[in-house]
Chain A
Amino acid sequence: MPVGRTQGSGGIRNVWLVARREYIERVRSRAFVFSTLLLTGLAIIVALIPLGVRLVDRATVTRVVVVAPDAAIGDRAVATMDGFLNTRTDTAGDGTPTFTFERLDDPEAARRLVLDGAVAGALLIERTTEGGLDFTVLSIGGLSPDRAQLLQVGTFAVGILDWTASQPPSGTPFVLPGFQVSDPNIGRSGGTTGGSPGTIDAAEYASRRIVGIVFVVLSFLTLVFYGLWVASGVVAEKAGRVMELLISAATAQQLVLGKILGIGLAGLTQVSLVLLPAILALLGSGELGNQLLGPDAAAASSLAGLSPGLIAAFLVYFVLGFALYAALYAGAGSLLSRAEDLQTVALPLSIPAIMGYFPAVLALSGGTSAFIRFASYVPLWSPFVMLARLSIGRVEPWEVVLSLGLLIVTVPLVTLLAIRVYRAGVLLYGQPPTVATFLRAIRG
């Protein structure tokens, strides 16, 4: 029975064969179907959050402190806005006002209140040289897009009243009052981001945060989750002893690369299946909200944060981040002998990812401290942190290039290391590995 044999020892072809087997097994598995359904459900819920926020928003009171150049303007602004904004028809049924306003004289105290989260925002009023008024809202995200819009309407009223009260009729024409929402964190971090003003439209800011949260949570969950797939796949092959047959048929390199590729493609399939309905839900919810709650300019911008560039960045960081984490998990998995061992090492294995998740959350609240910027270059963390920074904005191009460059250099290095560990590890059976076994395996 002679058997036809193609030349060579497999190479890329074997990587592809291993990847294909892995992909088919994953996608067909019950776990894949269930987790896809679960994640899709979660993503749709998250996508519908803005709609929910608008609903809840109607019944909550927004506390705003007002800091004016003099007490008269301050008192008038408080009175005007209170009267103007809280007599609206959509004030909650039980008579709760939409806003409460308090006058405060010290801008620094106001800023502290905002930073402490004691108030949703601080409205800083300044007299312009032309005699008009300029409004700046300090907020770290406590102000919903709807409320920010209302506030802008209120300041418009204050501006008109101020104009009619203080100007002789023949005086300067009415100037539309300036209005901007600013994050007090940015002012403090020293403005090293090239002098950009650090102010964006409040509604867009909120939208970017929501999109950022979705992306960061999604990459964090999926990288750790798919990483565990890789590790458990390796452990299963070892525990089921099919490894002995595998390693005699293909090289460690082919097996590791094939596994990462196959599970990565399965992961990408799942992410696409999860994201598409979520994006559709996000698009649909704006429409739905307008029908249910009436047209609202702020709702239109709930998608403002979801630019094609950001989706591309998410995919690039997902692919590179997955390759990095998958290599780590493959190496770690190869040192375990039994499926139970995986449970004991699953948590320590996810620590690097968790350490990157925290700066990412900070970055999502608009933080740009040196630590956050540093964390956004570190290869293990950049898939979350840089993604968070990108969704909020205010990232210099060179920072993206640096973080991607470091990631692109690190991925093959870590993969090579993982292959070494794997080569030594797959035939080791015994106790769960210690640091010493790990180092021995790397030294090979």
Chain B
Amino acid sequence: MTLVVDHLHKRFGSVVALDDLVFEVAPGQVFGFLGANGAGKTTTMRITLGVLEPDAGQVTWRGVESHRLPRSTWGYLPEERGLYSRMRVMDQLVFFAGLHGVPGDVARREALAWLSRFRALDLANRKAEQLSKGNQQKIQFIAAVLHDPQVLLMDEPFTGLDPVNVMLLREAFLELRDRGRTVVFSTHQMEVAEALCESVAIVDRGRMVVGGTLRDVRRSTGRRLVRISVAEGHRLPWLAALPGARVIQAGVERSSVELEPGTEPEDLLAAAVAAGARVLHFEVADPTLEQIFIDHVGRPPDEETHLASAPAAEDAA
């Protein structure tokens, strides 16, 4: 009863886009699909939509191969945004909903409801070419959800949105999830995924690196994070004596210390007490997704991956 990405392989000429990619998404979840540009996120989504054929493997939803399902199963927000530039917003929304089988009057009503919740009612009669990028993105999001699809596939939905719209979109995601819809979105912004997702998959160069519930993924490296605050000074000189501990963020208020597997938080606390430091705050936390990503992939997620791109290769992400 899940969305299963089952051993996908895909290459474009000499470029390997997907290399035995495997993961599952439980229904009714918000799922983060994490990876740098070129990791294979867009390719995976296109295969799921049935627009692209994999070289091997398949994607199934509730046991049915994805390309056999009606297209209205999916709501897709492509990474490359685009609308008919000379067409009015409302006409486009009704047109796209119509392709998914939604009658015109219903589409119009739903579109108005979504526009008003995005505080964009005034856009209804504008032409797409008159909209700002952020507004176009909102319209595209509405176009993707207007037919109330079971699964939402959103490719980098938060890029280019201002904080207010990021918040509106996050609320929309959570509401759709509460209505039993499955939301899969790709991003390279780890903090967004951290705040929204129940489960994530980290992919790199078309391969699954680590995946599962957010908690499992955070613990996947065995590292732990301690946030500590000490009364006198913030330099923590005694830390040097403790093997496997490294300050990753030094602060006046509070410092973050990363512990290698094998070094326990208690050891750190003991070292602090032994050094005579007065501990005001001590908190054991899991590492951030950003750090998990760096640990597994070896570089930050927003660093460009350099693929040997063949001519006419798809600009897949």
- The residues in A between 218 and 242 inclusive whose CB is less than 8 angstroms from any CB of B are 237, 240-242
A240 CB contacts on chain B under 8 angstroms: 82-85
User: A308 at interface (Cβ–Cβ under 8 A)?
Assistant: no
- The residues in B between 28 and 56 inclusive whose CB is less than 8 angstroms from any CB of A are 46, 49, 51-52
- B72-A9 in contact (CB<8A): yes
User: B156 at interface (Cβ–Cβ under 8 A)?
Assistant: no
- A2-B46 in contact (CB<8A): no
What separation, in Å, do the CA atoms of A241 and B76 have in the docked complex? 13
A3 CB contacts on chain B under 8 angstroms: 97, 102, 106-107, 110, 146-148
Mark interface residues in A235-271 (1 if CB within 8 Å of B CB, else 0).
0010011111111111100100000000000000000
Majority DSSP secondary structure for residues of A touching B: loop
Please pick, from A7, A18, A429, the residue contacting B101 in the complex, using a CB distance under 8 A: A7
- A14-B85 in contact (CB<8A): no
CB distance from A118 to the nearest CB of B (A): 57
User: B74 at interface (Cβ–Cβ under 8 A)?
Assistant: yes
- The residues in A between 1 and 47 inclusive whose CB is less than 8 angstroms from any CB of B are 1-10, 13-14, 17-18, 21, 25
Further 9 A-B residue pairs, CB within 8 A, beyond A3-B102, A245-B96: A1-B148, A6-B103, A21-B87, A240-B85, A245-B140, A248-B49, A248-B78, A249-B71, A427-B314
A245 CB contacts on chain B under 8 angstroms: 76, 78, 82-83, 96, 140, 143-144
- A248-B74 in contact (CB<8A): yes
What separation, in Å, do the CA atoms of A42 and B82 have in the docked complex? 38
- B101-A8 in contact (CB<8A): yes
Write the chain A residue with the least CB distance to B147.
A3
A242 CB contacts on chain B under 8 angstroms: 82-84
What separation, in Å, do the CA atoms of A338 and B30 have in the docked complex? 36
User: B86 at interface (Cβ–Cβ under 8 A)?
Assistant: yes
- B52-A249 in contact (CB<8A): no
Write the chain B residue with the least CB distance to A426.
B51
- The residues in B between 267 and 317 inclusive whose CB is less than 8 angstroms from any CB of A are 311-315
User: A437 at interface (Cβ–Cβ under 8 A)?
Assistant: yes
User: B81 at interface (Cβ–Cβ under 8 A)?
Assistant: yes
B147 CB contacts on chain A under 8 angstroms: 3, 5
A59 CB contacts on chain B under 8 angstroms: none
B74 CB contacts on chain A under 8 angstroms: 248
Q: Write 23 A-B pairs (CB below 8 A) sorted by A numbering.
A: A1-B110, A3-B102, A4-B103, A5-B72, A5-B147, A9-B101, A13-B101, A17-B99, A25-B84, A240-B83, A240-B84, A240-B85, A241-B80, A242-B82, A248-B49, A248-B71, A249-B71, A254-B99, A427-B52, A427-B314, A428-B314, A429-B314, A433-B312
User: B98 at interface (Cβ–Cβ under 8 A)?
Assistant: yes
**A-B pairs with lowest CB-CB distance, top 6:** A241-B82, A244-B78, A430-B312, A9-B70, A248-B76, A249-B99
- B95-A243 in contact (CB<8A): no
- B312-A6 in contact (CB<8A): no
Mark interface residues in A256-292 (1 if CB within 8 Å of B CB, else 0).
0000000000000000000000000000000000000
- The residues in B between 170 and 218 inclusive whose CB is less than 8 angstroms from any CB of A are none
Give the residue among B51, B113, B312 with the most A Cβ atoms within 10 A: B312
What separation, in Å, do the CA atoms of A247 and B47 have in the docked complex? 12
CB distance from B108 to the nearest CB of A (A): 12
B72 CB contacts on chain A under 8 angstroms: 5, 9
- B71-A9 in contact (CB<8A): yes
- B100-A5 in contact (CB<8A): yes
Mark interface residues in A424-442 (1 if CB within 8 Å of B CB, else 0).
0001111101000100000
What separation, in Å, do the CA atoms of A433 and B314 have in the docked complex? 13
What separation, in Å, do the CA atoms of A9 and B50 have in the docked complex? 13
Instruction: Report if A428-B312 is in contact (Cβ < 8 Å); known contacts: A240-B82, A242-B83.
Output: yes
What separation, in Å, do the CA atoms of A251 and B67 have in the docked complex? 11
What separation, in Å, do the CA atoms of A421 and B262 have in the docked complex? 58
- A1-B113 in contact (CB<8A): yes
A18 CB contacts on chain B under 8 angstroms: 99
Give the residue among B95, B100, B106 with the most A Cβ atoms within 10 A: B100
CB distance from A212 to the nearest CB of B (A): 39
Write the chain B residue with the least CB distance to A18.
B99
CB distance from A57 to the nearest CB of B (A): 50
CB distance from B155 to the nearest CB of A (A): 9
Please pick, from B71, B80, B106, B113, the residue contacting A244 in the complex, using a CB distance under 8 A: B80
